[in-house]
Structure 1
Amino acid sequence: MNYSIVTEFVILGLTENPEIQGVLFVVFLCIYLVAFLGNMLIVIAIIYNTSLHTPMYVLLLALAIVDIICTTSIIPKMLWTMLTSKKTITYRGCMSQLFFFTWSLGAEMVLFTTMAYDRYVAICFPLRYKTIMNHHMCVALLCIVMAIAVTNSWVHTGLILKLTFCGPNIVDHFFCEIPPLLALSCSPVRINEVMVCVADITLAMGDFTLTCISYGFIIAAILRIRTAEGKKKAFSTCSSHLIVVSLYYSPVIYTYIRPASSYTFDKDKVVAMLYTLLTPTLNPVVYSFRNKDMKAGIRKVFASLKH
């Protein structure tokens, strides 16, 4: 392992304009609170209600935990740098942030595919759903998600740890992400770029394709539903899921498919906000709060708090 000369990095953030920074602090604090509390509510509701201990809700629980880890690994530090003049992050802190973010990125992508498969089985094989998506299958799918996410994170963080950073140490981003760190390295980054591209093609593009195939079968099954109300309800669910999935995959594929020399950080910061902030905030609304069983579970949680 190479020991870098750089012991800390300076995080530039979204803007250096103090007036805009004040507004952005309030905006991102609100986004974080909505994302954190919304996902935490899902976690508590699913754990508390035994009626929600089914594969679909267990996968939703996993997604909510991943979203909490994703936003918490980035936003609190980002808010702290906005609030104080201290914009530095230690080398270890930067690598930790990179590891947890990369882990949550990989886990979220595989979870979206797993959830699409679960809905495919539920809609296309309703009578066989309980035998296909049994307890063992659910555990196996979650183990696969964890294995892929940890492997993805270890590979990229391990490769970044082997790089030498001898200055400059200014990260032109709002957190420690792979592209701005590769741009700062004073050692060759070709292997890193190849592995990032491989992960982008296999994980991002592969998972997105599988998710779209699952929804293709789901839509075909929906078209066979005879009642207009049934079609409308199923299409509403599928379309909202696909919008969130597209909002997540598109910027991820765009960010990681290019070599380090072609990054334009002003534009990339805006793109990164889509998969680090927007999707974790939208997930509770799209996947849970529109679901009648989930709403009933949340009401039970609030009812127990009153007592």
Structure 2
Amino acid sequence: LVILVGNLLIIALILSDRDLHRPMYFFLCNLSSLEIFITTSIIPKTVASLLMGNKTISYPFCLTQCYFYSLLGNIEFVLLAVMSYDRYVAICYPLRYPMLMNSQFCVQLLWGSWTAGFLATIVPAVLVVRLPFCNANRIDHFFCDIVLLIKLSCADTRTVELVSFMNASLILFGSLIMSAMSYIYIINTILRLPSASSQNKAFSTCSSHFTFVILAYGSCIFLYVQPSTHKISYNKIVSLLNTMVTPLMSPFIFSLRNEQMKKALKVGLKRNVIISRKCFSF
């Protein structure tokens, strides 16, 4: 509930406040939407299983959960790279920023994120659907993860595993490299600013996104560098971080660390109080 309310509040603030109708908040609005979709693809079924004690899931629903979790996760990583590029243009080329990051280009970047996520997900998904499953039907996880689902197959899965690993690595490390390069240029530009106040102002515009990037990428990279003997147990912990903790922290990171978001929230609360007083006045 906190995840849903927090991210919906961010979306509502951005849509209602014209001062927030800028590329940075356009991408933030879409990131909050992705957090909601990722959460609702996993948590409702998990909570229902815990409350009702029924830990079974149908095969079609399991495949659907696998697909949407992978799809939305891939889109989110590409979108984080896009948001890093947006901050790079804003800090390094402030005078050209309105021209470079116009509304048409922002929409194209958003569609590019969805297209890249779809292309990286559809091929492994098709290969997994074609896999035969014999007797094994127990997944050591709290949701249908594509890696563990592949291991249940009674066929040779080396091709599927290789394709899945290559696609995931391309999205994860490709977007990470883009984000890292953007922030290297950002930090270099900020350090060359003449005054400390200018540096603090520039850092404040990037701090929220940078914090979220560390949380998102750090948890997933941890999966790649961990010892194979602890892979399953660590998978659960990191997946818990990705599906619940990060979406839970997202509204607080982007609202409490962003002065314009806090200002919009205060204005919105003040407007609602005024409206409420008018409604209940006699």
Query: Could you say what the CA RMSD is over the residues aligned between the two structures, in angstroms?
Result: 2.2
Is the CA contact 1:179–1:256 (under 8 Å) kept in the aligned structure 2? no
Deviation at 1:230, TM superposition (A): 2.9
For residue 199 of structure 1, what is the aligned residue in structure 2? 167
Deviation at 1:299, TM superposition (A): 3.0
Distance across 2 between alignment mates of 1:48 and 1:193:
45
Question: Structure 1 pair 158/298, CA: closer, same or farther in 2 (3 Å)?
Answer: farther
In structure 1, give the amino acid aligned to 2:34. V
Question: Structure 1 pair 55/40, CA: closer, same or farther in 2 (3 Å)?
Answer: same
For residue 182 of structure 2, what is the aligned residue in structure 1? 214
Which residue of 233, 240, 244 maps to 1:277? 244
Is the CA contact 2:14–2:25 (under 8 Å) kept in the aligned structure 1? yes
Deviation at 1:239, TM superposition (A): 5.1
For residue 161 of structure 1, what is the aligned residue in structure 2? 129
Deviation at 1:37, TM superposition (A): 1.2
Which residue of 20, 24, 49 maps to 1:81? 49
* Bigger relative contact order, structure 1 or 2 (CA pairs below 8 A, ≥6 apart): 1
Deviation at 1:229, TM superposition (A): 3.0
Distance across 2 between alignment mates of 1:159 and 1:305:
51
Distance across 2 between alignment mates of 1:187 and 1:203:
27
Within a 5 Å distance, the mapping from 1:88-237 to structure 2 comes to: 88-235=56-203
Distance across 2 between alignment mates of 1:267 and 1:88:
22
Is the CA contact 2:121–2:167 (under 8 Å) kept in the aligned structure 1? no
Is the CA contact 1:200–1:253 (under 8 Å) kept in the aligned structure 2? no
SS at match of 1:186: coil
Distance across 1 between alignment mates of 2:268 and 2:158:
51
**Deviation per CA, 1:203-229, whole angstroms, max 9, x where unpaired?**
101100110100000001110122223
In structure 1, give the amino acid aligned to 2:262. K
SS at match of 2:57: strand
Distance across 2 between alignment mates of 1:239 and 1:56:
13
SS at match of 1:88: coil
Name whichever of 58-67 and 94-103 sits farther off. 94-103
Distance across 1 between alignment mates of 2:182 and 2:210:
11
Is the CA contact 1:196–1:257 (under 8 Å) kept in the aligned structure 2? no
Question: Structure 1 pair 257/195, CA: closer, same or farther in 2 (3 Å)?
Answer: farther
For residue 280 of structure 2, what is the aligned residue in structure 1? none
Is the CA contact 1:106–1:203 (under 8 Å) kept in the aligned structure 2? yes
Deviation at 1:173, TM superposition (A): 0.4
For residue 286 of structure 1, what is the aligned residue in structure 2? 253
For residue 264 of structure 1, what is the aligned residue in structure 2? 231
In structure 2, give the amino acid aligned to 1:270. I
In structure 1, give the amino acid aligned to 2:264. G
Is the CA contact 2:91–2:202 (under 8 Å) kept in the aligned structure 1? no
Q: TM-score, normalised by structure 2?
A: 0.89
Name whichever of 212-221 and 192-201 sits farther off. 192-201
For residue 302 of structure 1, what is the aligned residue in structure 2? 269
Q: Structure 2: which 5+ residue stretches go unaligned?
A: 276-282
